[in-house]
Structure 1
Amino acid sequence: MSKSKRTISGRTVVITGAASGIGRALAQRLSAHGCAVAIADVDENGLKETDASLNGNTLVRVLDVRDAEAQRDFAAEVREWAPTPIGAVFNNAGVAVAATVLHGAPEDDTWLWDINFHGVVNGTRAFLPILVEQDEGVIVNTSSVYGLLAVPVQSAYSASKFAVRGFTDSLRHELRGTGVAAITVHPGGIRTNIVHNARFREGSDGIGMDREQMAQNFAAVAMTEPAKAAEKIHRGVEKGKARILIGPDAYLLDTVARVAPANGFEWISKFGNVLGKASGKLSQVRNRAHAD
């Protein structure tokens, strides 16, 4: 499929989940590239911190992405405020749950699904009419590497991210022949607070570790800083990519999912120690090269 390059630098952009992590890094990068930035998040304090780090035009909205009506109101507000056409809408807000299927709580799954999937759908439906009327712009929906390959104790999270992938792929086909595009982003391990903010079912849930242990393990294997992720997303959007993988772990899991879709996790578990040691040695070589 041919790629259609586009420019979002200098245009208005919309970012949910902008109080921290990838969302904040995207806001900072795109603001620095001349974009008017409309940012939204349920975390008011974090949103204020993001706003304080930006230059240029900003619109700040405390928003629960689960609320479809609030999303439509936000879209109407952005439409009136935007000093330039909307170049991109980043439906980025997301949360995590760690629990086995056997011991998981339905209310936790519902909470996650309402944010990770329905929040993306709400944002897409709120802003898509504006982009279609413009006949330009892009919807950028954040999935995950776990939307490529599922792993234990992440059933709700993986399901929501597979759903985001399917929803966005379907939308992409519907938009063919228009000036509007749809993109999925599949981040690998990004150094954010998502694990610290996750819901856990500890004790008899079979996870085998508490929140702090899981956060430490995640921090040890997270390979990408949010600023680097934002750079990859920005460049990927402007290159016309339909799918953006972030981090070497994302490329690895994507390959494993293609080669061994039914037992990819077992493959990774079997060879994970070897790959981890190789990755560590490569990092040491890179660090020495940078030092020189």
Structure 2
Amino acid sequence: MSKQRRTITGRTAVITGAASGIGRALAQRLSSYGCPVAIVDVNEQALKETEASLRGPSLVKVLDVSDAQAQREFAREVRDWAPQPIGSVFNNAGVALGSTVLDAVPEDDDWLWNINFHGVVNGTRAFLPILVEQDAGVIVNTSSVFGLVGMPGQSAYCSAKFAVRGFTDSLRQELRGTGVSAVNVHPGGINTNIVRNGRFREEPGGPTKDQVVKEFAAMTRTEPDKAAAIIHRGVEAGKSRILVGPDAYMFDVLARVAPTRYFDVIERMESSLRNRANR
């Protein structure tokens, strides 16, 4: 079945996690394409910096996406404010956590799941009734390449991103026959501060957080503005799943052709990149 093109350019866009990274880049790009943008984040200062960089109308809200009631109230606020119909809702806010299952702190896992998964669910449930009522629009949920493969030290992150993938795929099937659609986004390594701002449990003999941040920077392949362009084009092209960056395509292939052995390949590649980062 051929993809059906969507039009989000010029329509109101809602973006969570807009204070930095992909969220900021999406806000800047869509604003430059004539979209009024409603942006949220918990980081008020950085969110104001995003607002100052926008070209068109904006609605700005300091908001914790894990707060379902706050998300519902924001959806009503956007509906009343929007100068154009809501064309897209980007549930993009996310955080990072590094820990083994054995040494995990349950409160840290809950913190991540509440933002990375429940934040997506909250945003979807808050805005979906509006989109269904107008019979138009798209929900765009940020999963990850770690929603395609499981990685050591990333059980909380992977489980949340796999959950986003499953939730969004199910939603897409429920929306068949309507004017509303749902999209999964799987970014690879994007040059953002997600690792630097995340929580990390250092293990005896293991890497320090500074080392992990440095290694992540060496492995990133895509800048946020490039990621935003890929996502924008993919949504308008009618894609249901958007892979962002060359490493995302590699992860996707490995997950399918070597579903139980992909980490052997990834480990060898990471070792090479780690050596390069530590030079």
TM-score after normalising by structure 1: 0.92
- Residue 247 of structure 1 is matched in structure 2 by 245
Task: Please identify runs of 4+ aligned residues in structure 1 that moved more than 6 A.
Answer: none
1-structure distance, mates of 2:175, 2:260: 31
2-structure distance, mates of 1:209, 1:233: 33
- 1:52 maps to 2:31: no
Amino acid at match of 2:224: P
C-alpha distance after superposition, 1:212-261 (max 9, x if no partner): 10000000010000000000000000000000000000000000000111
- 1:201 maps to 2:177: no
Aligned length: 274
- Residue 25 of structure 1 is matched in structure 2 by 25
- The 5 A counterparts of 1:110-129 are 110-129=110-129
1-structure distance, mates of 2:266, 2:244: 18
1:238 counterpart (219, 236, 239): 236
Q: Which stretch shows the higher mean deviation, 260-269 or 86-95?
A: 260-269
Amino acid at match of 1:123: G
Query: C-alpha displacement at 1:150, in angstroms?
Result: 1.0
- 1:229 maps to 2:227: yes
2-structure distance, mates of 1:19, 1:273: 32
Uncovered stretches (5+) of structure 1, i.e. residues with no partner? 278-292
Amino acid at match of 1:32: S
Query: C-alpha displacement at 1:271, in angstroms?
Result: 5.3
2-structure distance, mates of 1:79, 1:97: 34
Is the partner of 1:268 in helix, strand or coil? helix
- The 5 A counterparts of 1:1-292 are 1-204=1-204, 208-270=206-268
2-structure distance, mates of 1:69, 1:125: 11
Amino acid at match of 1:113: W
1-structure distance, mates of 2:171, 2:70: 22
Amino acid at match of 1:265: F
Amino acid at match of 1:217: E
- Residue 281 of structure 1 is matched in structure 2 by none
TM-score after normalising by structure 2: 0.96
2-structure distance, mates of 1:61, 1:20: 14
Uncovered stretches (5+) of structure 2, i.e. residues with no partner? 275-279
2-structure distance, mates of 1:196, 1:132: 38
Amino acid at match of 1:247: G
TM-align CA RMSD: 1.3
Query: C-alpha displacement at 1:270, in angstroms?
Result: 3.7
C-alpha distance after superposition, 1:173-223 (max 9, x if no partner): 00000000000000000000000111011133x7x1111100000000100
1-structure distance, mates of 2:194, 2:4: 33
- Residue 285 of structure 1 is matched in structure 2 by none
Flag the 1:273–1:67 CA change in 2: closer, same or farther, 3 A.
closer
